[in-house]
Amino acid sequence: MSVLPILQWPDPRLNTRCDPVGTDDISALIADMFETMYAAPGRGLAGPQVGAMLRVFVMDVGWKDGEKTPMACIDPEVTWRSEEMATGPEGCLSMPGVLAQVTRPAEIRLAYTDQGGVLREDHLTGFAAICAQHEFDHLNGTMHFAHLPETERDRLLADYGALS
């Protein structure tokens, strides 16, 4: 296993739609993605953030609170979104130093293949629902700030630009 470099915005790969994994064995990539996410340290990491242009993300929403719950999602699809929305601060390992106040559906259902090759469908709530939507967006080349109103988006991009 190895820690991979994390691409930083505005790398164009972060704006690119990823390809399905299908039946390819990507267990080595997933192991590296978990190691990279824990080292960052972060709670979610999507393939394109390490230059793997495939529809896969990993997340672990509990590990920073002492409870490891690793989850790898291959070829995920959001099959249901709640009408109830939630707003909260989101960071991104590809855009360190800034937070976006993003509004998203509070709950979702996510269908995906796990790291063992098992097809699953989970009902996600709370931070897990938000994190999964953030990572799912990466697979479509969408950054968190795309959800912001224009003035907030401009401010976030200016703040980020001032950091580099």
135 noted as active-site residue: yes
Tokens 């929403």 sit on residue: 61
Query: Does 18 help bind Ni ion (rule: CB under 5 A)?
Result: no
Q: What is the number of helices (H) and of strands (E) in the chain? A: 3, 7
Could you say whether residue 14 binds Ni ion (CB under 5 A)? no
The residue of the chain with the least Cβ separation from Ni ion equals 92
CA distance 26 to 53: 12
Categorise residue 89: left if φ over 0, alpha if ψ from -120 to 50, beta otherwise: beta
Nearest-approach distance from CB 117 to Ni ion, in angstroms: 26
Please say which residue, 14 or 29, places its beta carbon nearer to Ni ion. 14
Would you say 7 and 36 are in contact if contact means Cβ atoms under 8 Å apart? no
Q: Which lies closer to Ni ion via its Cβ, residue 30 or residue 130?
A: 130
Q: How far is the CB of 162 from Ni ion (least distance, A)?
A: 20
Q: Residue 10 pairs with which residues in a beta bridge?
A: none
Please answer whether residues 74 and 125 qualify as being in contact, where contact means their C-beta atoms are separated by less than 8 angstroms.
Answer: no
Nearer of residues 36 and 118 to Ni ion, judged by Cβ: 36
Instruction: Give yes or no for residue 100 binding Ni ion (CB under 5 A).
Output: no
66-95 residues near Ni ion, rule: CB under 5 A? 92
Q: Does 61 bind Ni ion (CB under 5 A)?
A: no
Q: For residue 148, what are its two tokens?
A: 């912001």
| Binding residues vs Ni ion (CB under 5 A) | 92
Q: Which residues are catalytic?
A: 135
